[in-house]
Structure 1
Amino acid sequence: MLLLLFLTFSCKATDGEQKGNAVAAKPNIVFILADDLGYGDIAPYGQTKIQTPHLTAMAGQGRRYTQFYAGSTVCAPSRAALMTGQHTGHTYIRGNGEVPMRATDTSLAKLLQQNGYTTGMVGKWGLGLQGTTGIPERQGWDFFTGHLHHLEGHRQQGDSLWRLANGESTRMPVPQGSFLNDIFTQEALSFIQNQRQNPFFLYVSYTLPHADLKVQDKYMQPYLTEEGESIFAPETAQPDGSWYRPQPYPKAAYAGMVTAIDDYVGQIMRKLEEQGLAENTLVIFASDNGTHLEGGRKLADALEVHQSSGTLRGVKRDLYEGGIRVPFIAYWKGQIKPGTTSNHIGAFWDILPTFAVLAEADTPAGIDGLSFRPDLLSQDGQEQHEALYWEFGEGGFKQAVRKGDWKAIRFYRKGKPERTELYRLDKDPGEKNDLVAEDPAKVEELEQLMDRMRSPSEHPLFRIQ
């Protein structure tokens, strides 16, 4: 009898260990998103004037993607593509505006939550205000501290944030004048510290280096001379009295904000190491779209001084490469080969199916994304997109499609197609040579592909005008 009890107990213990190992096999996931950080703003992508040592180390220890794309050229639809796995020809939210995610929408956080993950988010949400179906607690988040309204994220300092407590997001005070991204980082570190039982998904959505060009002195200091002047002189001050706060040195402040987010990434990486979580945690760093021209920043600042788009053409709100191609770095100790570079062509709508595979979850139907897990782990069998698609309505409707090395951008006027531009990205990544007159057959092919890859918008705000 004693032997039987011992064997029974041993079997149960073994079963428990196997179940525990199965859960542990699901990796933790940390997705860090910068706000309006250009493709060329950090050293792994050619930046020489702005200090980003932690992202340089992350790229050296991980995998750097050179042809990865945001969901859109502005924040809300880019984040919607990230959360739903759909591109802007299909997703409900196709532009900025107070349009919430619907209860019926596929949600990345819901998917992971339903498959055993504790889900936490800090920073800018922008996909649903209080009282709507898009509020974080209705979209699968267990933990949230941040901004609901995207305009709240235009300020770097504030006295309140939204927090999810007892199943409801409410506005809570923070110390007057706090640098809010400091708080987001501390909340992220606390979330990681408190995870013990379940695999976790942490989405860190910073508001740097966007808009209000205000940054802590310690991050500004490397970009000032001994006399306290900007190293990027001459500077044109951002005056008081506008929506954005005054800033005597916009170029130096922007550089400081990029260095700030680099430091925050370093803090998160150290915490994972300290907690012994690095070997079972996938960390991804990306930006939501191209670099901005706000808060006193000029086009020459972005393209000539900082070279924020690298060798690419365009900035935020463009469908040229500089508006949608983003830095994308993946790190997973012991799983991702260090110091590798990938030219895999992917986009934000690939995140959901990739994380679904890692979480051993079923991939939802009706999405546009493909898992890039094989490429992530340098394995064979990576499936490729037929094409990638974007559309954007501000300042006149326009569409873009990339098929292999070919890319077309179609511009509309008064709701009708006006002209199309054609580029060969392998030979001309800067989109300097429009080939529309040289290859009309390719233009027609890609225009037909644009028509086929979109469905009419269900929301009137995003219909072709």
Structure 2
Amino acid sequence: MKSFYKFFLSLFLIFISTFSFGQTKKPNIIYIMADDLGIGDLGVYGQEKIKTPNLDQFAKEGMVFTDFYAGSTVCAPSRATIMTGQHTGHTLLRGNSNVPIDLDQKILPEYLKDAGYTTAMFGKWGLGLANTVGSPEKRGWDEFAGFLLQRDAHYQFPDSIDMISDGVMTKQPFPNDLFANDYFLERSEEFIRSQSGKKPFFLYLSYTIPHAELVLSKESLKQYLDQDGKSVFPDENAWPDGQHYGPQEFPKAAYAAMVSHLDHQIGQLMATLKEKGLEENTLVIFTSDNGTHTEGGRTDADIDFFKSSAQFRGKKRDLYEGGVHMPFLARWVGTVKPGSVSHFKGAFYDLLPTFAQLAGEKLEGEIDGISFVSALTGKGDQEEHPYLYWEFHEQGGKQAILVGNWKVIRIEVGKNPQGTVELYDLSKDPSESNDVASQFPEKTAELTAILDGVRTENPHFNFGRKN
């Protein structure tokens, strides 16, 4: 009789365990974003000169997206689209400025907090300074350490850092010999190890590399120096002292070393997940905030040398593909098929609805993004965007819209809001080298009409025009 009861009890416990911790369990989410990393800088997207073994392995163990786009071509607005689920024709924050993220717009960490997640962010925020409605401690973050202001994030060995302490945003002194991104990784690993497993967690690791300044430890740089201490790459032009960014004798080597250092850190983070036994219930996404840059000693010739923008035209501050077409990798052991490829055309404003669906939260207000859970899991039909839209408020103002494989770009919008546009067929011309607007006037007119009807007026960003 006792053996019968033991058998019955064991079956009951198995049932309870399966019911409680099966497919309905909310996944942990880790979102990792590099700063100014080009799509061509990773081996999985064709890089041959810079070593990225960990991210290449990450891709083999997960899904590679071929057509994923940033929210903008510069830092702050791109990050705003992640948080709000809106494109830059609708977000309040549409350019690099100190405008805080909209108080009336519920944002990503607030949704996940409501869903029972513990939330932490380490790195560049850029969506609200201390004592504003955009300060992280007011917007759903349990833990934060990093930079509130984009300009502060320009320096790789800062003298201070912003941090939530006892629920209050403070500025703390920072050791001048500590590479900021090493600290962000350390805090991220501490956060993962501190999780009990009783609640799901959301970690946003927002790196400040390989953005200028191109300054990092001698040990990290060493891998791209020869035995004489010179760069292994030809035609190095030193970036002098006395500029906004720190000096760098070997900009090519430093950029490559930053990318490889970032790659090494991703390997460490994945090892920590495995150590904690969290691989099978954690979705990890890796991407970059916008295209590669020419700052701190890096040049257009350097971009061409490394093929940082892959086959695409342009870089940061362009709405050509090189400015917004991103590396985007997803890994979720047991859920995302290893070695898989997705051609889903998505953008950063899809992250909010995707993470909200995984967390079981309903969206509020007007959202431009769509969930790509079906693309990730291979289950169900994946909804597609009718269009992707961008606007940019520097260099005279720019707009672009992508409908299927057709892309329209308008430049110097501030001078002429209804000015002529360029038209590209990305299916035949992914490098956007052949403007076919004159060859396809009807298609040009069709996309221009969509472009002109997308955006709403904004109190801060209207291409120099008043409301």
Aligned match of 1:92: 92
Aligned length: 457
Aligned match of 1:21: 21
**Contact conserved, 1:393 with 1:464, CA < 8 A, in 2?**
no
1:347 partner amino acid = A
Deviation at 1:397, TM superposition (A): 1.3
Per-residue Cα deviation, 1:140-178 (whole angstroms, up to 9, x for no partner): 100101111011110011222111121111011222221
Give matches, 1:50-199, under 5 Å.
50-196=50-196, 197-199=198-200
**Contact conserved, 2:424 with 2:434, CA < 8 A, in 1?**
yes
SS at match of 1:157: coil
Per-residue Cα deviation, 1:20-60 (whole angstroms, up to 9, x for no partner): 53797100000000000001011010000000000000001
In the alignment, structure 1 segments of 5+ residues that lack a partner are: 1-8
* 2:371 counterpart of 1:371: yes
**Contact conserved, 2:396 with 2:463, CA < 8 A, in 1?**
no
Aligned match of 1:441: 442
Aligned match of 1:5: none
Aligned match of 1:236: 237
Deviation at 1:419, TM superposition (A): 2.1
Give matches, 1:273-312, under 5 Å.
273-302=274-303, 304-312=304-312
Give matches, 1:208-223, under 5 Å.
208-223=209-224
1:146 partner amino acid = G
In the alignment, structure 2 segments of 5+ residues that lack a partner are: 1-8
Q: Distance in 2 between matches of 1:199 and 1:274?
A: 17
2:430 partner amino acid = P
Aligned match of 1:339: 339
* 2:262 counterpart of 1:224: no
Runs of 4+ in 1 over 6 A off after TM superposition: 12-16
1:380 partner amino acid = G
Q: Distance in 1 between matches of 2:37 and 2:186?
A: 21
SS at match of 1:112: helix
**Contact conserved, 2:407 with 2:425, CA < 8 A, in 1?**
yes
Q: Distance in 2 between matches of 1:153 and 1:19?
A: 45
**Contact conserved, 1:39 with 1:310, CA < 8 A, in 2?**
yes
Deviation at 1:272, TM superposition (A): 0.3
SS at match of 1:370: coil
Aligned match of 2:45: 45
Per-residue Cα deviation, 1:83-124 (whole angstroms, up to 9, x for no partner): 000000000000001110122112000000011000000000
Aligned match of 1:329: 329
Aligned match of 1:36: 36
Deviation at 1:416, TM superposition (A): 2.9
2:406 partner amino acid = W
2:231 partner amino acid = S
**Contact conserved, 1:33 with 1:286, CA < 8 A, in 2?**
yes
Q: Distance in 2 between matches of 1:349 and 1:311?
A: 25
**Contact conserved, 1:397 with 1:415, CA < 8 A, in 2?**
no
- 1:160/1:426 Cα in 2 relative to 1: closer, same or farther (>3 Å)? same
Deviation at 1:271, TM superposition (A): 0.4
Q: Distance in 2 between matches of 1:415 and 1:119?
A: 44
Aligned match of 1:356: 356
Q: Distance in 1 between matches of 2:193 and 2:463?
A: 41
Q: Distance in 2 between matches of 1:431 and 1:154?
A: 31
Deviation at 1:360, TM superposition (A): 0.9
Aligned match of 2:399: 399
1:275 partner amino acid = K
Deviation at 1:461, TM superposition (A): 6.6
Aligned match of 1:205: 206
Deviation at 1:251, TM superposition (A): 0.7
Q: Distance in 1 between matches of 2:34 and 2:348?
A: 14
Per-residue Cα deviation, 1:50-74 (whole angstroms, up to 9, x for no partner): 0000000000100000100000000
Q: Distance in 1 between matches of 2:32 and 2:313?
A: 25
